[in-house]
């Protein structure tokens, strides 16, 4: 194996520890604990698991977690009303609407109902718009992309002039990662399902961020020797030898790429744990903003 593995669990633990200490100091100075409201609409099992972990992680660092659930039959107005109510609630510093919302609900309108000062997920159109504009700063950076950048900075303190390829252009991962890389002065190529010559483009990358949601799509011979490879993908593949009948793999063929890349993030235990750590950090920042 040539690649240095970046341990997301250890890095996330470090961030969580820092947030916990800062929250304790915040509360010791007489201010209320930061509050994070989670909004879960419908019965998506994965969403329930994610929200549960986010609430548990919040409690562990001293952030007050307020959970709200609506049925899959909730109307657009009901979801927006709840978000507005939370937006007006002083105990709530950050609002997290778990995505995806059930079909039929307008995600953009729901997210726009969160004021940008409470948009700890960083998906409000104004925060994303500021991320895309030169000379403007978003109040919050989306959590998974922030986790990707945190890991990259650990191994490449300067990304200036680096050739970066982002596989995927979703609102929650690919596009914000690409915007953050541009802000860090990398030269960025964004690839997606209509991209031609994908392996050739990927081979040009000194830094590769894979966020496509296709199990082990990036093969060893797609990767430039020594490249830094961040694998965001979380995909289930059948595996009868596992108690649950499946295992999790990334978008990168780990066994091949570990012998070519210079740095690689594993799945699980790579970017995944960073996402929640960044949410906690954003929630603490939101409390600071509200109490300026």
Cβ at position 260, least distance to ligand NAP in Å:
20
DSSP alpha helices (H): ranges in 88-141? 107-112, 125-132
Instruction: Point out the catalytic residue in the list 118, 119, 121, 258.
Output: 121
Distance in angstroms (rounded) separating the CA atoms of residues 165 and 256? 19
Clarify whether 54 is annotated catalytic.
yes
Using CB under 6 A as the binding rule, whether residue 8 contacts ligand NAP is answered as no
Using the rule CB under 6 A, give the single segment among 83-91, 108-116, 190-198, 277-285 that binds ligand NAP.
Answer: 190-198
Residues 35 and 288 sit within 8 Å (Cβ to Cβ): no
| Residues 219 to 278 in contact with ligand NAP, rule: CB under 6 A | 232-235, 271-272, 275
Using CB under 6 A as the binding rule, whether residue 196 contacts ligand NAP is answered as no
Q: If we measure between CA atoms, which residue out of 86, 108, 90 comes closest to residue 99? A: 108
**Other Cβ atoms within 10 Å of 22 Cβ, number:** 19
Using CB under 6 A as the binding rule, whether residue 168 contacts ligand NAP is answered as yes
Cβ at position 85, least distance to ligand NAP in Å:
27
Cβ at position 272, least distance to ligand NAP in Å:
4
Clarify whether 121 is annotated catalytic.
yes
Nearer to ligand NAP, 144 or 285 (CB): 144
Using CB under 6 A as the binding rule, whether residue 148 contacts ligand NAP is answered as no
Instruction: Point out the catalytic residue in the list 4, 81, 87, 98.
Output: 98
Distance in angstroms (rounded) separating the CA atoms of residues 132 and 126? 10
Using the rule CB under 6 A, give the single segment among 34-42, 71-79, 151-159, 211-219 that binds ligand NAP.
Answer: 211-219
HSE at residue 100, side-chain half, CA atoms within 13 A, is 7
Cβ at position 63, least distance to ligand NAP in Å:
19
Cβ at position 192, least distance to ligand NAP in Å:
4
Q: 272-275: which pairs have CB atoms within 8 A and are 24 or more residues apart?
A: 272/8, 272/234, 273/8, 273/9, 273/11, 273/12, 273/13, 274/8, 274/11, 274/12, 274/15, 274/143, 274/144, 274/146, 274/147, 274/148, 274/150, 274/151, 275/143, 275/144, 275/147
Instruction: Tell me, by CB under 6 A, how many residues bind ligand NAP.
Output: 25
**Residues acting as catalytic residues:** 54, 98, 121
Residues near ligand NAP (CB under 6 A): 144, 167-170, 172-174, 191-195, 198, 211-214, 232-235, 271-272, 275
């Amino acid at each position: 194996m040539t690649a240095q593995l970046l341990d997301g669990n250890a890095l996330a633990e470090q961030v969580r520890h820092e947030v916990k200490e800062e929250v304790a100091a915040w509360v010791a100075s007489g201010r209320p604990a930061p509050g994070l409201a989670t909004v879960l609409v419908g019965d998506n099992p994965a969403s329930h698991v994610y929200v549960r972990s986010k609430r548990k992680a919040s409690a562990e660092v001293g952030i007050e977690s307020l959970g709200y659930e609506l049925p899959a039959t909730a109307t657009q107005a009901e979801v927006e009303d709840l978000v507005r109510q939370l937006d007006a609630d002083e105990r709530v510093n950050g609002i997290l609407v778990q995505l995806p919302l059930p079909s039929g609900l307008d995600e953009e309108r729901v997210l726009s109902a969160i004021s940008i000062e409470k948009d700890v997920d960083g998906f409000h159109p104004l925060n994303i718009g500021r991320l895309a504009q030169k000379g403007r700063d978003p109040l919050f950076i989306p959590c998974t992309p922030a986790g990707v950048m945190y890991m990259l900075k650990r191994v490449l303190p300067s990304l200036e002039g680096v050739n970066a390829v982002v596989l995927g252009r979703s609102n929650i991962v690919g596009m914000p990662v690409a915007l953050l890389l541009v802000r860090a002065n990398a030269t960025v190529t964004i690839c997606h399902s209509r991209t031609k010559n994908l392996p050739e483009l990927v081979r040009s990358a000194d830094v590769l961020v894979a966020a496509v949601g296709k199990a082990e799509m990036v093969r060893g011979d797609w990767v430039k020797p020594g490249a830094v490879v961040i694998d965001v993908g979380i995909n289930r593949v059948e595996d009868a030898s596992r108690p649950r009948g499946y295992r999790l793999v990334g978008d990168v063929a780990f066994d091949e790429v570990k012998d070519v890349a210079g740095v690689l993030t594993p799945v699980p235990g790579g970017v995944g744990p960073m996402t929640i750590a960044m949410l906690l950090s954003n929630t603490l920042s939101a409390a600071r903003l509200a109490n300026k």
